[in-house]
C-alpha cells in the first residue's frame, strides 16, 4: 500500500526543515548549498539510511525532476554571480606573484 497523507506531510515537513538547517550550516561554513544537498540525499537515500527508495520503474519522473532542479540551480547561480568578481586580468594558476 502507500503512505497515509499525514505521514507524507510529516516527511515533507521534516525534509524542508533539514533543508533550511542545512542551508544555515552551509552559510556558516561558507559552503555552497549544492555541496550540502547531495549530502542529505545520500544520507537519506539508498547510500545511507535507506529512507527514500526509488524503484527501477519510477526513474522517468526522477530524471525529469532532477533536470528541472539542475536548471533552477544553474539559473539561480547565474543570477547571483557578481560580474565584478571576475573583472580584470588574473595571473595564470600555479604561478606566484
- CA distance linking residue 11 with residue 36, whole number of Å: 19
Domain ranges of the chain: 5-79
Quote the pTM value: 0.47
Per-residue pLDDT of 46-85, as tens digits, reads 777 777 766 666 677 777 877 888 888 788 777 776 666 6
Per-residue pLDDT of 5-21, as tens digits, reads 787 788 788 878 888 88
Are 25 and 36 contacting, i.e. CB atoms less than 8 angstroms apart? yes
- CA distance linking residue 6 with residue 13, whole number of Å: 11
- What CA–CA distances, in Å, run from 71 to 42, 58, 62, 68, 81? 21, 21, 14, 5, 15
Q: Over the range 46-76, which residues count as b (16 or more CB within 10 Å of their CB) and which as e?
A: eeeeeeeeeeeeeeeeeeeeeeeeeeeeeee
Amino acid at each position: 500500500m502507500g503512505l497515509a497523507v499525514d505521514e507524507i506531510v510529516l516527511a515533507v515537513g521534516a525534509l524542508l526543515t533539514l533543508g533550511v538547517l542545512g542551508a544555515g550550516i552551509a552559510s556558516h561554513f561558507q559552503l555552497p548549498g549544492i555541496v550540502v544537498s547531495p549530502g542529505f540525499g545520500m544520507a537519506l537515500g539508498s547510500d545511507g539510511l535507506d529512507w527514500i527508495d526509488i524503484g527501477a520503474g519510477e526513474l522517468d519522473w526522477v530524471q525529469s525532476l532532477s533536470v528541472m532542479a539542475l536548471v533552477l540551480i544553474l539559473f539561480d547561480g547565474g543570477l547571483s554571480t557578481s560580474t565584478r568578481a571576475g573583472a580584470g586580468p588574473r595571473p595564470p594558476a600555479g604561478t606566484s606573484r
